[in-house]
């Protein structure tokens, strides 16, 4: 019993610090992505996100991150911001999702996402639908690439942030080949 009480906080601390530890995602490539709407922030302003509407524009990259302003999440969001010209050139939209509140996401969208893409609130229903729960009140670090037809074409679930951008960008580029 004491081990279980220590394990969840220890794993959460490792995730927030950016340590590498494989995470699992139940959604498999080829399945239809759960459709959702959420509220978040883009360049510090409140933003409404509708997956159906975004898919009409092209493929969508959804990346779940545990908590804004933690080391791994900050570095991952900086990397996505730097790669946004490449994602746009490939016709893709990107949104980061976490269980953080809207005021935190507003600040994070300006400071760490560099006004380049929106971050949204992953409510309990979205977290459950995408099977990204990690402890209480956190999501694990999982990235999905969703093709314009709504099917998941790539899943990368790893608490180490470093390969999420390169893998999702490669999957988006493969869609146009």
For 57-74, give the secondary structure using H, E and C: HCCEEEEECCCCCCHHHH
Query: How many other CB atoms sit within 10 Å of the CB of residue 121?
Result: 18
**What are 62-74's pLDDT values in tens digits?**
999 999 999 999 9
pLDDT recorded at residue 19: 42
CA distances from 70 to 55, 94, 121 (A): 30, 20, 16
CA distances from 162 to 2, 20, 90, 168 (A): 33, 9, 20, 11
For domain 2-175, the question of CATH label 3.30.2130.10 is answered with no
pLDDT recorded at residue 41: 98
Those residues of the chain that have pLDDT short of 70 are: 1-26
pLDDT recorded at residue 176: 85
Residue ranges covered by each domain of the chain: 2-175
Beta-sheet pairing, 152-157 with 142-146: antiparallel
**What are 117-145's pLDDT values in tens digits?**
999 999 999 999 999 998 888 999 999 99
pTM for the model stands at: 0.86
Q: Is 135 within 8 Å of 50 (Cβ atoms)? A: no
């Amino acid at each position: 019993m004491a081990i279980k009480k220590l394990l969840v906080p220890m794993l959460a601390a490792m995730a927030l610090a950016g340590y590498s530890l494989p995470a699992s995602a139940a959604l498999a490539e080829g399945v239809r992505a759960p459709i959702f709407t959420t509220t978040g922030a883009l360049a510090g302003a409140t933003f409404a996100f509708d997956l159906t509407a975004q898919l009409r524009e092209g493929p969508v990259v959804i990346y779940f991150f545990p908590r804004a302003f933690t080391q791994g999440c900050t570095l991952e969001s900086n990397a996505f911001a730097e790669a946004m010209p490449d994602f746009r050139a490939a016709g893709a939209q990107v949104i980061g999702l976490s269980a953080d509140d809207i005021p935190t996401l507003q600040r994070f969208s300006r400071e760490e996402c560099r006004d380049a893409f929106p971050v949204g609130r992953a409510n309990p229903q979205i977290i459950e639908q995408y099977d990204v729960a990690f402890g209480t009140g956190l999501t694990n670090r999982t990235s999905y690439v969703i093709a314009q037809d709504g099917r998941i074409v790539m899943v990368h679930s790893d608490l180490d942030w470093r390969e999420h951008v390169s893998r999702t960008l490669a999957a988006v580029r493969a869609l146009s080949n």
